[in-house]
Structure 1
Amino acid sequence: MKRVSLTIILVCFTLVLAAQNRDIKVNYKGAKPSISDFAWALLSSNDNEEEDCYDELFNAIKQAWMKHRKGLPLDEGETLTVDEKNGYICYESKYEEHVGRWEMCYWNEADGKHKLFAYNVVSFSNGKYSPGQYDGIAFYRYNNATKKMKECDDTGVDVVYHTGDNVFASYALPRTGKDILVTIWYDNEPKKITLKWKGHRFGK
C-alpha cells in the first residue's frame, strides 16, 4: 500500500511542476532566501488546489518537513536532509526494493540579480534506475528584486529522459560543487556526463 501511495505522490507532484507557469513568491527573513525558503515557496504554492492528489503529496513531504523542524523522528523508511550551508535538500522514501528521491538546490547567478532553483525526482529499484512516467527535473529562475521565481527553460540543460538508443537518463543535483550529473543507464556500464555551471546556464 505504501508503495502505491509513493507512486501517486511522485506522479502528482510532477504534475504540479509541469502545470506551474506562474510567479511564485518566496518569503524569507534576513538578507537573502535560503534553500528552505525556496523549498517551502514551491511546496506551499499549491495550498489552495482541490485535487485529491495534493493531499497525498503534502502528507508525505510537508509532514516530514514539519517533523524535521520539530526534531521529531520521521516515519520508517523516510529521511530528510536539509543542508542550508550548501543550499541542498533531499527527501527519500524507501519501501522494500524501491527508493524515491526528491532533491532541491539553487545557484547564485553571475549577474547578482537572479538565482536558479532546481527540483529533481528520481526513482530506483534494487539499486538500478527505475523511472516512473513523471520522473524528471525542473528549473525556476528567481528575481532578487521582485522576490519571485518562475519556471524557466533557459538553463543550457537539454533535458532528455530517454535517449535515441532506447536508454534512460537520470539527473542528480549537487550537494557540494555546482555541477549537475547526468547518468545514461546502459546495461553494461552507465555513462556519466557532467553539466558545468557557467554562472547563468550549464554547459559540458
Structure 2
Amino acid sequence: MPAPMTLHGPRLVLRPWRPADAGPLAAINTDPEAMRHFASPMSPAESDAWMARLQAHIEAHGWGFWCVERRAAPGCIGAVGLLHVAFEAPFTPAVEIGWRIAPAQQRQGFAEEAARLALAAGFGPIGLAEVVAFTRVANEPSWRLMRKLGMARGEDFEHPRLPEGHPARPHILHRLMRADWVAQRLG
C-alpha cells in the first residue's frame, strides 16, 4: 500500500479524510443546492458511507478524492481528486477527476485550484496516461471548468447508475491526455 498523498496549493490543502470531516462533508452532501446536479442529495448515512469509500480508495492507492481545506481556515470545504470509475461505460476503465465544493465556498476558484493540484499529481507521480471527467449536460459550471482545465469534449453517454428516463441520466464526457497536459504547461 502506498503512503497517502497530501497536496499543497497556494490556498488549499488536499489531504486524506479524518473523522472530524464527516459532519462538514454531510452538510455538503445533504444540501439540495450543492447536490442540484446529482440525482438527489445524500442522507447523512450515505454521506458517511461515501467518505469511507473515498478514504478506502486513498488507503489502497495513495490518492483519490481528497478532503479539501483552506490553508487560512482549516476544515473540510469539499472533496476533489481522482478516482477509478466504478461503473462500466464505453470509456472505462478510466480514472475520473471530480469536485464538490460547499456552496458558501463556490465561485472563489477553489475547485479549479484543487483540480489543477489533482491533475499535477495524476500526470506526475501517479503516472496516469489519461483523466476523464463527466457531468450531466445541465451542469454548465462543471463542464466549463473541464474546458478551462484543458479537457476536450468526448462522447456523450447515459449514466448507467441512473434509471432510464431520469433527467440526470444524459452525461457529457471530457478527456485529458498526459501529453496534452504537458504541452499546455510548456506553453
Question: Greater strand percent: which structure?
Answer: 1
Q: TM-score, normalised by structure 2?
A: 0.30
